[in-house]
Structure 1
Amino acid sequence: MRALDSLSLTALPAADEALRGPVRAFVQHAVAQLPAHVRARSWGGYDDHFTREAGRRGFLGLTLPKEYGGGGRSAYARYVVVEEFLNHGAPVGSHWIAERQSAPLILKYGTQEQKRFYIPPVCRGESYFCIGMSEPNAGSDLASVKTRATRNEAGWTLNGQKIWTTNAHRCHYMMALVRTSGSSEDRHKGLTQVIVDLKLPGVTVRPIIDLSGDSHFCEVFFDDVQLAPGAVLGGEGDGWEQVMSELAFERSGPERIYSSIVLFDEWLAYVRTPPGRTPESVRLAGKLLSQLAPLRAMSIAVTGKLTRGESSAVEAALVKDLGTAVEQAIPALIADDLFRRPEGDVPLELLRTLTYVTQVAPAYSLRGGTRDILRGMIARGLGLR
């Protein structure tokens, strides 16, 4: 248990909580005409105008230094903004990965030239990144990467394939984990991160259509792609350590609680009406809220660790694993409640929203690390393996 002793409950600082009012007003206006089943897509949604306006208002890059166009604020401030974006179902997919993890990773490991080139456009909502980690036939085993960058006179030649790459067809750059030496049998050794301009010759992006009809996942092919010498992020061969740092950004935010929240709120609004209220639905609302509240408190506690510069990999994995379970339970339990009712009593928009979330919910326990991977990390953190 000692690995989780430092997960101290904390409140959001008043100065950061004060952001909630203006952010909420902005988001409510932006999504006012969007039906719930569209808002339920939120961090899979894509809207250039929303992202650029969020950047103009200073709601992107809040934790990044002002010298690179950021807000120079703490992770608490970003938590408030992200929570409001997700709770209202804002279409944040455009900037999501770039602002959440790519820009902070470049800030931590990049050269001054890389920081000045890549970070300011992210803060303005003008530059989008995707993440190239997973590969075919590798499952969640990132150490078995086979995509290779080979040094040449002009920099590096890149060959290989990535899969399950979110919004690659809409992004400007990919942060890719590749092998620069050795073979997949060498595991963590010889892995390096490179920044790939997706407009380069030899890059092919193919969207993958999922059960809901969306195509935010993609497969990306590299065929003799020429990278400049400055494409390497951090040290050659340090890719594994950097990816682990990056995944802490990915697993620590409120998005690991709120993927089904638009559906939950739509259902809760129905339950508050005379036709929707039943003893069973009231009990279910209490059950779900009693799980969401402590998860939010834990998520804020992880944000506190990030603010203090402490490692939060194990705690973030725990929140992600528990949060995913609740996110996936919400559509299943709401479906049980709604389908017990007489046909025609349930609002059509609520059913549309339930259909979409039910279709995408299986992916919640895949993105950001599968349950088996996360639970292995938690077990090691607790000294159990």
Structure 2
Amino acid sequence: MSNLLDAFHLTALPAEAEAFRAEVKEFIAEHLPPAAADVRARSWMGFDAAFSRRLAARGWVGLTLPTRYGGAGMDAFRRFVLVEELLAVGAPVAAHWIADRQSGPLILRYGTQAQKDFYLPRICAASAFFCIGMSEPNAGSDLASVRTRAVRSEGGWRLNGRKIWTTNAQHCQYMIALVRSSGAPEDRQKGLSQFIVDLALPGVIVRPIVDLTGDAHFSEVTFDDVFLNDEALIGEEGAGWEQVTAELAFERSGPERLYSSVVLLDSWVAHLRRESAKPADLALLGSLVAQLATLRCMSIAVTARLARGESPVVEAALVKDIGTEFEQTIPALLEAAITADPARSIAPELYRTLAYLSQVSPAFSLRGGTREVLRGMIARGLGLR
């Protein structure tokens, strides 16, 4: 356990990262139109390609990618600041989110030079959006049991199978899919590979899934004898498990696993400022802020390890597990606080924001790996299993 605790060494954001914050705030003030809280609460599920391209024009999509590919060549700390500021105001970031956070870094680390030259400039220009093909029907977050299969064919591969809960697949040009390229599902981690799939190829069918809120952020994607050329394979054939594990460290570690409910929290704080806050309200607010401050420190500690080129898989899983539980707690506790006194006057916008997050928050602990899977990883990291 001591090794895991040492990984969360208290780390301050560097001065240059904090200086970058003012630049980000200025950009947001200039380029983000005002929107109601229930709209802003969608933030990293909010798809706005035009806003993503405005960010890209500043070099802030692919922020950590090398300048020769159109990135800004900045470090993970400044990406932390950028993400934190965008989520704090509820900016719509879903269009470029996955490509910026994990697809681009994955291609940079494992891709061929041709893949880097083709995809990375398009990611940095916000002209190519990526989704992730991991979960499958009847498999969920058990990635090692995937059944979607790529079979060697003349000049490439034939892909057949299905992916589900694929975020914004209906809006994206590409998917990075984890599939089985050899062996059987019983082989678990062996025989898995990652492929870049052009979603416009014949045989790819994307079906959006409507959630409780009426939004359609997720999709089911079917591959019916889709031909992929040899250049679609990322890294080594059969090395997909190692690659996807490194990719998930990028997905699980950032502030996006802390701030999904922050617009609601800010709206409630604004309500307390207008009304007479009760002692119970202030105690609850203090508890939530203390938890957020602690989780933020943990996330920055993981960011420091990413900045050093490390792959903090277990630490990122821990931040994601605790962080998403915190995100889910906020709407549940605020529901109780607001309804404790039916006579209190509550603005309709606050009610709408609370209603949205109450419906969508169960998904917070599913995306990026279920709580059960993450806790198994953490237990192994602690030497408990």
Q: 1:302 is aligned with what amino acid?
A: V
Distance 1:97 1:295 in 2: 22
Tell me how far 1:16 sits from its aligned partner: 1.4
In the alignment, what sits opposite 1:320?
Answer: 320
Note if contact 1:149-1:179 (Cα within 8 Å) is conserved in structure 2. Answer: yes
Note if contact 2:197-2:228 (Cα within 8 Å) is conserved in structure 1. Answer: yes
Distance 1:137 1:286 in 2: 41
Distance 1:382 1:9 in 2: 20
In the alignment, what sits opposite 1:294?
Answer: 294
Q: Bigger CA drift: 2-11 or 223-232?
A: 2-11
1:214 aligns to 2:239 (yes or no) = no
Note if contact 2:65-2:74 (Cα within 8 Å) is conserved in structure 1. Answer: yes
In the alignment, what sits opposite 2:10?
Answer: 9
Percent identity between matched residues is 62
TM superposition outliers: structure 1 runs of 4+ over 3 Å? 28-32
In the alignment, what sits opposite 1:382?
Answer: 382
Distance 1:378 1:30 in 2: 40
TM-score, normalized by length of structure 1? 0.98
Q: 1:70 is aligned with what amino acid?
A: G
1:246-285 alignment, distance < 5 Å: 246-273=247-274, 275-285=275-285
Note if contact 1:31-1:89 (Cα within 8 Å) is conserved in structure 2. Answer: no
In the alignment, what sits opposite 1:130?
Answer: 131
Distance 1:236 1:209 in 2: 35
Q: Secondary structure at the residue paired with 1:163? A: strand
In the alignment, what sits opposite 2:358?
Answer: 358
CA RMSD in angstroms comes to 1.1
Tell me how far 1:369 sits from its aligned partner: 0.9
Deviations 1:41-69 (A, max 9, x none): 00000101100000001111111111111
In the alignment, what sits opposite 2:338?
Answer: 338
Q: 2:190 is aligned with what amino acid?
A: K
In the alignment, what sits opposite 2:62?
Answer: 61
Q: Secondary structure at the residue paired with 2:197? A: strand
Q: Secondary structure at the residue paired with 2:162? A: strand
Distance 1:3 1:65 in 2: 32
Note if contact 2:135-2:141 (Cα within 8 Å) is conserved in structure 1. Answer: yes
Note if contact 2:63-2:100 (Cα within 8 Å) is conserved in structure 1. Answer: no
Note if contact 2:60-2:71 (Cα within 8 Å) is conserved in structure 1. Answer: no
- Structure 1 residues 167 and 252 mapped into 2: Cα distance closer, same or farther (>3 Å)? same
Note if contact 1:31-1:39 (Cα within 8 Å) is conserved in structure 2. Answer: no
Q: Bigger CA drift: 342-351 or 358-367?
A: 342-351
Note if contact 2:45-2:92 (Cα within 8 Å) is conserved in structure 1. Answer: yes
Note if contact 1:31-1:88 (Cα within 8 Å) is conserved in structure 2. Answer: no
Q: Secondary structure at the residue paired with 1:18? A: helix
Distance 2:328 2:280 in 1: 19
Q: 2:287 is aligned with what amino acid?
A: K
In the alignment, what sits opposite 1:104?
Answer: 105
Distance 1:116 1:350 in 2: 46
Deviations 1:137-177 (A, max 9, x none): 01221111111111111311111100000000000000000
Q: Secondary structure at the residue paired with 2:95? A: coil
1:159-170 alignment, distance < 5 Å: 159-170=160-171
Distance 1:305 1:226 in 2: 39
Which 5+ residue runs of structure 1 have no aligned equivalent? none
Deviations 1:277-329 (A, max 9, x none): 11111111101001000100110000001111223111111111111111111
Tell me how far 1:34 sits from its aligned partner: 0.9
Tell me how far 1:343 sits from its aligned partner: 4.4
Note if contact 1:28-1:88 (Cα within 8 Å) is conserved in structure 2. Answer: no
Distance 2:29 2:245 in 1: 35
Q: 1:370 is aligned with what amino acid?
A: T
Q: 1:223 is aligned with what amino acid?
A: D
Tell me how far 1:276 sits from its aligned partner: 4.6
Q: Bigger CA drift: 67-76 or 89-98?
A: 67-76
In the alignment, what sits opposite 1:116?
Answer: 117
- Structure 1 residues 15 and 255 mapped into 2: Cα distance closer, same or farther (>3 Å)? same
Distance 1:17 1:103 in 2: 24
Note if contact 2:7-2:315 (Cα within 8 Å) is conserved in structure 1. Answer: no
Distance 1:256 1:28 in 2: 24
Tell me how far 1:22 sits from its aligned partner: 1.8
Deviations 1:252-290 (A, max 9, x none): 1000100100000011111112x2511111111101001
Q: Bigger CA drift: 26-35 or 56-65?
A: 26-35
Note if contact 2:158-2:226 (Cα within 8 Å) is conserved in structure 1. Answer: yes
